[in-house]
Amino acid sequence: MRKHKINLDESTLAFATISELSDALRKREISCVELTKFFGERLESQGPEYNALALSLLKDAKKAAKDVDWELKRERFRGPLQGIPFAVKDLLSVADYPTTWGAKPFADQVFDFDATAVRKLKSAKGILIGKLAMVELAGGGSYTSASASLQGPGRNPWNKQYWSGGSSSGSGAAVGAGLVPYALGSETSGSILTPACYCGVSGLRPTYGLVSRHGAMALSWTLDKIGVLARSAEDCGLVLHEMAGSDDEDPGSAQKSFYYSPQYYSNLNDLKIGYAEIDFAEWPVESLRPAFAQALTVVKSLGPQMVETKLPDFAYGPIITCIIDSEAASVFETLIRSGRVDQLADLGQIDGLKASMNYSAVDYLKSMRVRTQIQAAFRQLFAGVDLLVAPTKLDFPDKADVPFDDTPPKRPETKGVVAGLVQASNLCGLPALTVPCGFVNGLPIGLQIVGRPFSENRVLALGVEFQKRTNFHKQQPGKIAT
Protein backbone atom coordinates (compact mmCIF):
# COMPACT_ATOMS: atom_id res chain seq x y z
CA MET A 1 0.00 0.00 0.00
CA ARG A 2 1.06 3.58 -0.60
CA LYS A 3 2.13 5.48 2.47
CA HIS A 4 0.24 8.64 1.51
CA LYS A 5 -2.69 9.50 -0.70
CA ILE A 6 -1.76 12.38 -2.97
CA ASN A 7 -3.11 15.64 -1.54
CA LEU A 8 -3.10 17.52 -4.86
CA ASP A 9 -6.44 18.48 -6.34
CA GLU A 10 -7.01 17.90 -10.06
CA SER A 11 -6.10 21.45 -11.05
CA THR A 12 -2.88 21.45 -9.04
CA LEU A 13 -1.85 18.05 -10.38
CA ALA A 14 -2.45 19.08 -14.00
CA PHE A 15 -0.09 22.03 -13.69
CA ALA A 16 2.58 20.49 -11.45
CA THR A 17 6.22 20.56 -12.50
CA ILE A 18 8.28 17.50 -13.34
CA SER A 19 10.07 17.73 -9.98
CA GLU A 20 6.79 17.92 -8.07
CA LEU A 21 5.34 14.95 -9.93
CA SER A 22 8.55 12.96 -9.52
CA ASP A 23 8.57 13.64 -5.79
CA ALA A 24 4.96 12.48 -5.50
CA LEU A 25 5.78 9.27 -7.36
CA ARG A 26 8.80 8.49 -5.23
CA LYS A 27 6.88 9.13 -2.02
CA ARG A 28 4.16 6.89 -3.46
CA GLU A 29 1.55 9.58 -2.97
CA ILE A 30 0.32 8.59 -6.42
CA SER A 31 1.13 5.63 -8.62
CA CYS A 32 2.51 5.91 -12.12
CA VAL A 33 -0.58 4.13 -13.44
CA GLU A 34 -2.83 6.70 -11.73
CA LEU A 35 -0.74 9.60 -13.02
CA THR A 36 -0.69 8.18 -16.55
CA LYS A 37 -4.43 7.60 -16.52
CA PHE A 38 -5.01 11.12 -15.20
CA PHE A 39 -3.04 12.86 -17.96
CA GLY A 40 -3.95 10.36 -20.67
CA GLU A 41 -7.68 10.75 -20.11
CA ARG A 42 -7.28 14.49 -19.78
CA LEU A 43 -5.48 14.60 -23.14
CA GLU A 44 -8.12 12.40 -24.78
CA SER A 45 -11.07 14.38 -23.45
CA GLN A 46 -9.77 17.95 -23.66
CA GLY A 47 -7.18 17.71 -26.41
CA PRO A 48 -9.78 17.90 -29.19
CA GLU A 49 -11.11 21.17 -27.70
CA TYR A 50 -7.83 22.78 -28.73
CA ASN A 51 -7.31 20.64 -31.85
CA ALA A 52 -4.18 19.49 -30.04
CA LEU A 53 -4.46 15.70 -30.10
CA ALA A 54 -3.29 13.73 -33.10
CA LEU A 55 -3.24 10.27 -31.52
CA SER A 56 -3.76 8.86 -28.03
CA LEU A 57 -1.27 6.21 -26.91
CA LEU A 58 -2.87 5.65 -23.52
CA LYS A 59 -3.26 1.89 -23.87
CA ASP A 60 0.47 1.30 -24.32
CA ALA A 61 1.23 4.00 -21.76
CA LYS A 62 -0.64 2.14 -19.02
CA LYS A 63 1.49 -0.95 -19.65
CA ALA A 64 4.69 1.10 -19.39
CA ALA A 65 3.36 2.74 -16.21
CA LYS A 66 2.90 -0.64 -14.54
CA ASP A 67 6.59 -1.39 -15.14
CA VAL A 68 7.56 1.92 -13.55
CA ASP A 69 5.39 1.22 -10.51
CA TRP A 70 7.16 -2.14 -10.15
CA GLU A 71 10.51 -0.29 -10.12
CA LEU A 72 9.36 2.43 -7.73
CA LYS A 73 8.00 -0.15 -5.32
CA ARG A 74 11.50 -1.60 -5.17
CA GLU A 75 13.07 1.89 -4.89
CA ARG A 76 14.79 1.60 -8.23
CA PHE A 77 14.97 5.31 -8.98
CA ARG A 78 16.30 6.22 -12.42
CA GLY A 79 15.90 9.99 -12.60
CA PRO A 80 13.36 12.81 -12.55
CA LEU A 81 11.62 11.78 -15.79
CA GLN A 82 10.85 8.28 -14.50
CA GLY A 83 7.10 7.80 -14.63
CA ILE A 84 6.33 11.29 -15.97
CA PRO A 85 3.84 11.33 -18.87
CA PHE A 86 4.78 13.24 -22.02
CA ALA A 87 3.62 13.69 -25.60
CA VAL A 88 5.36 14.50 -28.89
CA LYS A 89 4.72 16.53 -32.01
CA ASP A 90 3.45 14.33 -34.81
CA LEU A 91 6.56 14.75 -36.94
CA LEU A 92 8.45 12.38 -34.60
CA SER A 93 8.09 8.72 -35.44
CA VAL A 94 6.64 6.28 -32.91
CA ALA A 95 7.04 2.67 -33.96
CA ASP A 96 3.99 1.04 -35.53
CA TYR A 97 1.76 4.10 -35.14
CA PRO A 98 0.83 6.77 -37.71
CA THR A 99 3.18 9.71 -38.09
CA THR A 100 1.17 12.10 -40.22
CA TRP A 101 3.36 15.22 -40.27
CA GLY A 102 0.05 17.04 -39.79
CA ALA A 103 -0.85 16.56 -43.45
CA LYS A 104 -3.50 14.55 -45.31
CA PRO A 105 -1.06 13.05 -47.88
CA PHE A 106 0.75 11.31 -45.01
CA ALA A 107 -2.25 10.42 -42.84
CA ASP A 108 -1.55 6.67 -43.13
CA GLN A 109 2.25 6.85 -42.87
CA VAL A 110 3.73 4.39 -40.35
CA PHE A 111 7.37 3.84 -39.36
CA ASP A 112 8.77 0.76 -37.62
CA PHE A 113 11.06 2.62 -35.22
CA ASP A 114 10.97 5.34 -32.59
CA ALA A 115 12.66 8.67 -33.25
CA THR A 116 15.89 8.92 -31.26
CA ALA A 117 14.50 11.65 -28.99
CA VAL A 118 11.45 9.50 -28.23
CA ARG A 119 13.60 6.44 -27.60
CA LYS A 120 15.82 8.31 -25.17
CA LEU A 121 12.91 9.61 -23.14
CA LYS A 122 11.40 6.13 -23.03
CA SER A 123 14.78 4.82 -21.86
CA ALA A 124 14.60 7.34 -19.02
CA LYS A 125 11.24 5.66 -18.21
CA GLY A 126 9.16 8.58 -19.40
CA ILE A 127 5.61 7.55 -20.30
CA LEU A 128 4.55 8.47 -23.83
CA ILE A 129 0.80 9.14 -23.79
CA GLY A 130 0.14 10.74 -27.17
CA LYS A 131 1.11 12.44 -30.39
CA LEU A 132 0.22 16.08 -30.84
CA ALA A 133 -1.16 18.11 -33.71
CA MET A 134 1.03 20.35 -35.81
CA VAL A 135 0.88 22.68 -38.78
CA GLU A 136 1.07 20.52 -41.89
CA LEU A 137 4.66 19.73 -42.93
CA ALA A 138 5.84 22.02 -40.11
CA GLY A 139 4.85 25.02 -42.21
CA GLY A 140 6.92 24.20 -45.27
CA GLY A 141 6.02 26.57 -48.10
CA SER A 142 4.49 29.01 -45.58
CA TYR A 143 0.84 29.00 -44.59
CA THR A 144 -1.86 31.64 -44.43
CA SER A 145 -4.09 30.53 -41.55
CA ALA A 146 -4.17 28.44 -38.39
CA SER A 147 -6.33 25.90 -40.24
CA ALA A 148 -3.26 24.51 -42.01
CA SER A 149 -3.36 21.27 -40.02
CA LEU A 150 -4.88 17.83 -40.26
CA GLN A 151 -6.62 18.40 -36.92
CA GLY A 152 -7.80 21.95 -37.64
CA PRO A 153 -6.66 25.28 -36.19
CA GLY A 154 -4.68 25.05 -32.98
CA ARG A 155 -6.64 26.84 -30.26
CA ASN A 156 -5.10 28.78 -27.43
CA PRO A 157 -5.90 27.44 -23.95
CA TRP A 158 -6.10 31.00 -22.60
CA ASN A 159 -8.74 31.96 -25.17
CA LYS A 160 -9.92 29.49 -27.80
CA GLN A 161 -10.71 32.29 -30.22
CA TYR A 162 -6.96 32.76 -30.65
CA TRP A 163 -4.29 30.61 -32.26
CA SER A 164 -1.98 28.48 -30.15
CA GLY A 165 0.96 29.22 -32.47
CA GLY A 166 2.79 27.15 -35.04
CA SER A 167 4.07 24.85 -36.11
CA SER A 168 4.22 23.01 -32.75
CA SER A 169 0.63 24.12 -32.15
CA GLY A 170 -0.53 20.98 -30.36
CA SER A 171 2.53 20.89 -28.11
CA GLY A 172 1.96 24.46 -26.96
CA ALA A 173 -1.75 23.98 -26.36
CA ALA A 174 -1.39 20.63 -24.58
CA VAL A 175 1.19 21.90 -22.10
CA GLY A 176 -0.56 25.25 -21.72
CA ALA A 177 -3.88 23.56 -20.91
CA GLY A 178 -2.31 21.16 -18.42
CA LEU A 179 -3.02 18.10 -20.56
CA VAL A 180 0.57 16.85 -20.33
CA PRO A 181 3.52 17.89 -18.12
CA TYR A 182 5.83 18.40 -21.10
CA ALA A 183 5.90 17.88 -24.84
CA LEU A 184 8.42 17.74 -27.64
CA GLY A 185 8.27 20.21 -30.51
CA SER A 186 10.51 21.26 -33.36
CA GLU A 187 11.82 24.57 -34.62
CA THR A 188 13.19 25.70 -37.93
CA SER A 189 12.40 29.40 -37.51
CA GLY A 190 10.27 30.01 -34.44
CA SER A 191 8.08 26.91 -34.10
CA ILE A 192 8.95 26.23 -30.46
CA LEU A 193 9.29 29.81 -29.24
CA THR A 194 6.01 30.99 -30.79
CA PRO A 195 3.56 28.40 -29.37
CA ALA A 196 5.36 28.37 -26.01
CA CYS A 197 5.01 32.15 -25.80
CA TYR A 198 1.39 32.27 -26.94
CA CYS A 199 0.34 29.39 -24.65
CA GLY A 200 2.10 30.71 -21.54
CA VAL A 201 4.69 27.95 -21.08
CA SER A 202 8.46 27.65 -21.16
CA GLY A 203 10.02 26.53 -24.43
CA LEU A 204 13.62 25.55 -25.12
CA ARG A 205 15.16 25.39 -28.58
CA PRO A 206 18.56 23.70 -28.17
CA THR A 207 21.72 24.40 -30.12
CA TYR A 208 21.61 22.96 -33.63
CA GLY A 209 22.82 19.35 -33.52
CA LEU A 210 22.54 18.87 -29.75
CA VAL A 211 19.38 16.73 -30.04
CA SER A 212 19.16 14.06 -32.72
CA ARG A 213 16.57 14.52 -35.46
CA HIS A 214 16.66 10.88 -36.52
CA GLY A 215 13.06 9.84 -36.97
CA ALA A 216 11.81 13.42 -37.33
CA MET A 217 10.36 14.86 -40.52
CA ALA A 218 12.90 17.02 -42.30
CA LEU A 219 11.90 20.50 -43.40
CA SER A 220 15.34 22.11 -43.58
CA TRP A 221 18.31 19.85 -42.86
CA THR A 222 20.58 22.72 -41.87
CA LEU A 223 18.05 24.45 -39.60
CA ASP A 224 15.74 21.88 -37.95
CA LYS A 225 15.99 21.41 -34.17
CA ILE A 226 14.05 19.25 -31.69
CA GLY A 227 13.20 20.91 -28.39
CA VAL A 228 10.83 20.89 -25.42
CA LEU A 229 7.84 22.83 -24.11
CA ALA A 230 7.24 22.50 -20.38
CA ARG A 231 5.91 24.11 -17.22
CA SER A 232 9.21 25.79 -16.28
CA ALA A 233 12.74 26.52 -17.40
CA GLU A 234 13.98 23.90 -14.95
CA ASP A 235 11.70 21.30 -16.51
CA CYS A 236 13.17 22.12 -19.91
CA GLY A 237 16.63 21.47 -18.53
CA LEU A 238 15.62 18.13 -17.02
CA VAL A 239 14.19 16.94 -20.33
CA LEU A 240 17.13 18.15 -22.39
CA HIS A 241 19.49 16.32 -20.03
CA GLU A 242 17.96 13.02 -21.12
CA MET A 243 17.23 13.87 -24.74
CA ALA A 244 20.54 15.40 -25.88
CA GLY A 245 23.53 13.47 -27.15
CA SER A 246 25.39 12.23 -30.20
CA ASP A 247 23.70 10.10 -32.83
CA ASP A 248 25.40 8.70 -35.92
CA GLU A 249 21.96 8.39 -37.53
CA ASP A 250 21.73 12.19 -37.71
CA PRO A 251 24.35 13.68 -40.08
CA GLY A 252 23.87 17.03 -38.34
CA SER A 253 24.60 15.68 -34.87
CA ALA A 254 27.05 17.84 -32.94
CA GLN A 255 28.30 14.70 -31.17
CA LYS A 256 27.91 16.44 -27.82
CA SER A 257 26.04 15.62 -24.63
CA PHE A 258 24.31 17.95 -22.19
CA TYR A 259 24.34 17.74 -18.42
CA TYR A 260 21.90 19.98 -16.64
CA SER A 261 23.94 21.53 -13.83
CA PRO A 262 22.17 24.68 -12.59
CA GLN A 263 24.21 24.78 -9.41
CA TYR A 264 27.22 26.07 -11.37
CA TYR A 265 25.36 28.89 -13.13
CA SER A 266 23.17 30.46 -10.43
CA ASN A 267 25.40 33.54 -9.89
CA LEU A 268 24.30 36.04 -12.52
CA ASN A 269 26.36 39.00 -11.27
CA ASP A 270 29.20 38.31 -13.68
CA LEU A 271 26.94 37.98 -16.73
CA LYS A 272 26.78 40.54 -19.49
CA ILE A 273 23.31 40.63 -21.02
CA GLY A 274 22.74 42.33 -24.34
CA TYR A 275 19.42 44.07 -24.80
CA ALA A 276 17.86 47.21 -26.27
CA GLU A 277 15.42 49.44 -24.41
CA ILE A 278 13.59 50.12 -27.67
CA ASP A 279 12.72 46.42 -27.98
CA PHE A 280 10.61 46.66 -24.84
CA ALA A 281 9.41 50.26 -25.06
CA GLU A 282 8.61 50.83 -28.76
CA TRP A 283 8.66 47.63 -30.84
CA PRO A 284 5.77 45.75 -29.16
CA VAL A 285 2.19 46.83 -29.74
CA GLU A 286 1.38 49.59 -27.31
CA SER A 287 -0.79 47.58 -24.92
CA LEU A 288 2.02 45.10 -24.27
CA ARG A 289 4.71 47.65 -23.47
CA PRO A 290 4.06 48.12 -19.71
CA ALA A 291 4.23 44.35 -19.12
CA PHE A 292 7.45 44.06 -21.10
CA ALA A 293 8.93 47.03 -19.24
CA GLN A 294 8.18 45.27 -15.95
CA ALA A 295 9.79 42.06 -17.24
CA LEU A 296 12.93 43.97 -18.17
CA THR A 297 12.99 45.49 -14.68
CA VAL A 298 12.97 41.98 -13.21
CA VAL A 299 15.90 40.95 -15.43
CA LYS A 300 17.89 44.00 -14.32
CA SER A 301 17.12 43.23 -10.66
CA LEU A 302 18.90 39.88 -10.98
CA GLY A 303 22.20 41.74 -10.98
CA PRO A 304 23.80 41.16 -14.40
CA GLN A 305 25.62 43.86 -16.34
CA MET A 306 23.17 45.14 -18.94
CA VAL A 307 24.73 46.12 -22.28
CA GLU A 308 22.81 48.12 -24.90
CA THR A 309 23.09 46.05 -28.06
CA LYS A 310 22.05 45.97 -31.71
CA LEU A 311 21.99 42.99 -34.03
CA PRO A 312 24.35 42.95 -37.01
CA ASP A 313 22.67 44.47 -40.06
CA PHE A 314 21.58 41.62 -42.35
CA ALA A 315 18.41 40.71 -44.23
CA TYR A 316 17.69 37.76 -41.94
CA GLY A 317 14.16 37.10 -43.17
CA PRO A 318 14.91 36.70 -46.90
CA ILE A 319 18.03 34.64 -46.17
CA ILE A 320 16.32 32.10 -43.94
CA THR A 321 13.30 31.96 -46.26
CA CYS A 322 15.48 31.09 -49.24
CA ILE A 323 17.30 28.36 -47.31
CA ILE A 324 14.13 26.80 -45.87
CA ASP A 325 12.26 26.91 -49.17
CA SER A 326 15.18 25.54 -51.16
CA GLU A 327 15.78 22.64 -48.79
CA ALA A 328 12.03 21.97 -48.44
CA ALA A 329 11.76 21.78 -52.24
CA SER A 330 14.27 18.95 -52.17
CA VAL A 331 12.62 17.23 -49.19
CA PHE A 332 9.12 17.38 -50.70
CA GLU A 333 10.01 17.13 -54.38
CA THR A 334 8.11 13.88 -54.86
CA LEU A 335 5.06 15.24 -53.04
CA ILE A 336 5.05 18.36 -55.20
CA ARG A 337 5.71 16.70 -58.56
CA SER A 338 3.16 13.95 -57.91
CA GLY A 339 0.39 16.46 -57.37
CA ARG A 340 -0.40 15.09 -53.90
CA VAL A 341 0.61 18.47 -52.53
CA ASP A 342 -2.85 19.65 -53.61
CA GLN A 343 -4.31 17.61 -50.73
CA LEU A 344 -2.93 20.07 -48.17
CA ALA A 345 -5.45 22.17 -46.27
CA ASP A 346 -3.90 25.58 -46.93
CA LEU A 347 -3.99 26.91 -50.50
CA GLY A 348 -1.24 29.41 -49.78
CA GLN A 349 1.00 26.64 -48.55
CA ILE A 350 0.30 24.58 -51.66
CA ASP A 351 1.30 27.53 -53.84
CA GLY A 352 4.35 28.19 -51.67
CA LEU A 353 5.64 24.64 -51.95
CA LYS A 354 5.18 24.67 -55.71
CA ALA A 355 6.96 28.02 -55.95
CA SER A 356 9.86 26.69 -53.87
CA MET A 357 10.84 24.56 -56.87
CA ASN A 358 11.82 27.76 -58.68
CA TYR A 359 14.79 28.60 -56.46
CA SER A 360 18.09 28.16 -58.25
CA ALA A 361 21.33 26.73 -56.92
CA VAL A 362 22.74 30.26 -57.21
CA ASP A 363 19.99 31.62 -54.92
CA TYR A 364 20.64 28.93 -52.34
CA LEU A 365 24.41 29.20 -52.38
CA LYS A 366 24.30 32.99 -52.13
CA SER A 367 22.09 32.67 -49.05
CA MET A 368 24.41 30.10 -47.51
CA ARG A 369 27.40 32.37 -48.08
CA VAL A 370 25.63 35.26 -46.37
CA ARG A 371 24.71 32.86 -43.60
CA THR A 372 28.39 32.25 -42.87
CA GLN A 373 28.84 36.02 -42.61
CA ILE A 374 25.95 36.21 -40.16
CA GLN A 375 27.48 33.45 -38.06
CA ALA A 376 30.82 35.27 -37.99
CA ALA A 377 29.09 38.50 -36.97
CA PHE A 378 27.31 36.73 -34.11
CA ARG A 379 30.55 35.22 -32.86
CA GLN A 380 31.87 38.75 -32.64
CA LEU A 381 28.68 39.95 -30.95
CA PHE A 382 28.90 37.23 -28.30
CA ALA A 383 32.50 38.17 -27.59
CA GLY A 384 31.01 41.15 -25.76
CA VAL A 385 27.90 39.65 -24.15
CA ASP A 386 26.93 36.32 -22.64
CA LEU A 387 23.21 36.38 -23.42
CA LEU A 388 20.65 38.37 -25.38
CA VAL A 389 17.15 39.13 -24.08
CA ALA A 390 14.16 40.48 -25.97
CA PRO A 391 10.40 40.04 -26.20
CA THR A 392 9.55 36.69 -27.78
CA LYS A 393 6.58 38.01 -29.75
CA LEU A 394 5.63 41.64 -30.23
CA ASP A 395 1.87 41.31 -30.45
CA PHE A 396 -1.09 39.07 -29.70
CA PRO A 397 -1.65 35.79 -31.55
CA ASP A 398 -3.86 35.79 -34.63
CA LYS A 399 -7.45 34.64 -34.41
CA ALA A 400 -7.81 30.89 -34.96
CA ASP A 401 -10.68 30.95 -37.45
CA VAL A 402 -9.66 33.65 -39.92
CA PRO A 403 -6.69 34.07 -42.27
CA PHE A 404 -3.63 35.65 -40.72
CA ASP A 405 -3.43 39.42 -40.87
CA ASP A 406 -0.50 40.02 -43.21
CA THR A 407 -0.65 43.82 -42.92
CA PRO A 408 2.90 44.96 -42.07
CA PRO A 409 2.83 46.50 -38.59
CA LYS A 410 4.22 49.97 -38.03
CA ARG A 411 7.58 49.65 -36.28
CA PRO A 412 10.30 52.13 -35.33
CA GLU A 413 13.05 52.65 -37.88
CA THR A 414 15.65 52.21 -35.15
CA LYS A 415 16.39 48.54 -34.54
CA GLY A 416 17.71 46.86 -31.44
CA VAL A 417 17.86 43.13 -30.75
CA VAL A 418 14.33 41.87 -31.30
CA ALA A 419 14.07 42.65 -35.01
CA GLY A 420 15.25 39.52 -36.77
CA LEU A 421 16.43 37.73 -33.61
CA VAL A 422 14.38 34.56 -34.16
CA GLN A 423 15.57 34.22 -37.76
CA ALA A 424 19.15 35.20 -36.95
CA SER A 425 19.51 32.87 -33.97
CA ASN A 426 18.12 29.98 -36.01
CA LEU A 427 20.51 30.72 -38.86
CA CYS A 428 23.34 30.58 -36.34
CA GLY A 429 22.00 27.48 -34.58
CA LEU A 430 21.92 29.23 -31.20
CA PRO A 431 20.02 27.98 -28.14
CA ALA A 432 16.99 29.99 -27.04
CA LEU A 433 14.49 29.87 -24.21
CA THR A 434 11.17 31.65 -23.88
CA VAL A 435 9.55 32.08 -20.47
CA PRO A 436 6.20 33.66 -19.60
CA CYS A 437 6.72 37.25 -18.47
CA GLY A 438 3.24 38.73 -18.11
CA PHE A 439 -0.39 38.78 -19.18
CA VAL A 440 -2.28 41.34 -21.22
CA ASN A 441 -6.02 41.04 -21.85
CA GLY A 442 -5.87 37.54 -20.41
CA LEU A 443 -3.22 36.35 -22.89
CA PRO A 444 0.38 35.49 -21.97
CA ILE A 445 3.50 37.19 -23.32
CA GLY A 446 7.04 35.83 -23.32
CA LEU A 447 10.65 36.84 -22.74
CA GLN A 448 13.25 35.39 -25.10
CA ILE A 449 16.76 34.47 -23.90
CA VAL A 450 19.43 33.57 -26.47
CA GLY A 451 22.98 32.38 -25.87
CA ARG A 452 26.14 31.16 -27.57
CA PRO A 453 26.19 27.66 -29.04
CA PHE A 454 26.02 24.97 -26.33
CA SER A 455 25.39 27.51 -23.55
CA GLU A 456 22.06 25.93 -22.57
CA ASN A 457 22.94 25.86 -18.88
CA ARG A 458 23.55 29.61 -18.85
CA VAL A 459 20.39 30.31 -20.84
CA LEU A 460 18.37 28.13 -18.49
CA ALA A 461 19.97 29.71 -15.41
CA LEU A 462 18.62 33.13 -16.34
CA GLY A 463 15.21 31.62 -17.03
CA VAL A 464 15.19 29.79 -13.68
CA GLU A 465 16.20 32.91 -11.75
CA PHE A 466 13.57 34.97 -13.57
CA GLN A 467 10.94 32.41 -12.60
CA LYS A 468 12.09 32.51 -8.97
CA ARG A 469 11.20 36.22 -8.96
CA THR A 470 7.91 35.89 -10.82
CA ASN A 471 4.91 33.57 -10.86
CA PHE A 472 3.76 33.94 -14.47
CA HIS A 473 4.75 30.33 -15.26
CA LYS A 474 2.57 29.10 -12.39
CA GLN A 475 -0.65 30.62 -13.71
CA GLN A 476 -3.46 28.50 -15.12
CA PRO A 477 -5.87 29.44 -17.89
CA GLY A 478 -8.90 31.12 -16.37
CA LYS A 479 -7.17 31.58 -13.01
CA ILE A 480 -4.66 34.38 -13.47
CA ALA A 481 -3.55 35.66 -10.05
CA THR A 482 -3.55 39.44 -9.66
Q: Which amino acid is at 411?
A: R
DSSP letter, residue 147: T
Tell me, yes or no, if 287 is annotated catalytic.
no
Pairing of strands 159-163, 155-156: antiparallel
SS3 404: coil
Tell me, yes or no, if 338 is annotated catalytic.
no
Give the strands of the sheet with 53-56, arranged side by side: 53-56, 127-132, 85-89, 182-187, 225-230, 202-205, 432-440, 443-451, 387-391, 272-275, 305-308
Cα 39 to chain centroid distance, Å, stands at 20
DSSP letter, residue 26: H
CA-based end-to-end distance of the chain: 41
Distance CA 88, CA 216 (A): 11
**Backbone phi, psi, residue 204, to 5°:** -115, 120
Of the residues 164, 167, 186, 232, only one is catalytic, namely: 167
Residue 194 near residue 165, CB atoms below 8 Å:
yes
Tell me, yes or no, if 300 is annotated catalytic.
no
Of the residues 89, 120, 131, 225, only one is catalytic, namely: 89
Q: What angle do CA 342, 189, 142 make, to 5 degrees?
A: 20
Beta bridge partners of 184: 88, 228
Angle at which helix 456-469 crosses helix 289-301, to 10 degrees, equals 110
Q: Which residues are tagged catalytic?
A: 89, 167, 191
